[in-house]
Amino acid sequence: MMDAREHENRTAIITGGGRGFGKAFGHALAARGAHVVLADIDAQAGEAAAAEIRAAGGAASACWCDVADEAQVGAMAAEVAARRGGIDILINNAGLHSAAYAEPMTKSGLAKLRRLFDVNLMGVIICTLALRSAMAGRAGASIVNISSSASYDCPTAYGVSKLAVRGLTVAFARELGRDGIRVNAIAPGLMFTETIRRELPQALVKSVHEQQILKREGGEQDIVEAMLYLCSERAAFVTGETLRVSGGLALQV
């Protein structure tokens, strides 16, 4: 059974915390007692999301951070760890995923591809390594990476970047297990956020729904529930796994 205050006095850093999944993760963890730090390259969005969480009775702060910038991430990690006495949860949520990246690599150009992999792949590596020492040895320490169902067929560079996130999840689970840190990932299917509704053609939405076993729209709360499970004691013996939350999209054996 879930404890309504299971994250009391714990500290969680959520990258890309200013909107979308990141903001939803922040609300959910704060509602369960955590102090959430929303790290976002859009400082205004991060501050607005933190203020929204505080208005709802939660504890939240925000910081400006580009996850692909090693110096910025290192400074954030050191500041939060010093102020909070350590870090318990890291959600590697920041990522580039707009329609601009859903195109063939032959059309994207190297500059766009480099930025995609700097954020989606190197961002996970940089944040995980920067926070390792502040999380090591803390009871229930947990890292959750956000992959994608696109990582199972890799139709674009975006899918390839999220395949790499699944690989990193296994590699870091092996490396950080000795520190008592569990590392898992979530692979969302098509989830109806504001961005998705605005950007995706209806024909593509219909095509994805036809491939799902469960014939309904996925939403932010579906991903939030998966995150809460992976960060909880209910998943204390789970590490190195990627949990698909996709309505049965493209199941494989």
Residues with catalytic function: 158
CA 188 → CA 2, 162, 185, 218, distances in Å?
22, 11, 10, 9
**Which run of H or of E encompasses 128?**
helix 123-135
- Secondary structure, 3-state, 84-119: HCCCCEEEECCCCCCHHHCCCHHHHCHHHHHHHHHH
The Cβ of residue 237 has, within 10 Å, a number of other Cβ atoms equal to 7
Q: Which two tokens stand for residue 61?
A: 């702060």
Cβ density class 92-109: b for 16+ within 10 Å, e for less: bbbbbbeeebbeeeeebe
For helices 123-135 and 70-84, give the axis angle rounded to 10 degrees: 30
Query: CA 57 to CA 87: how far, in whole Å?
Result: 21
- Bridge partner residues of 13 (DSSP): 37, 90
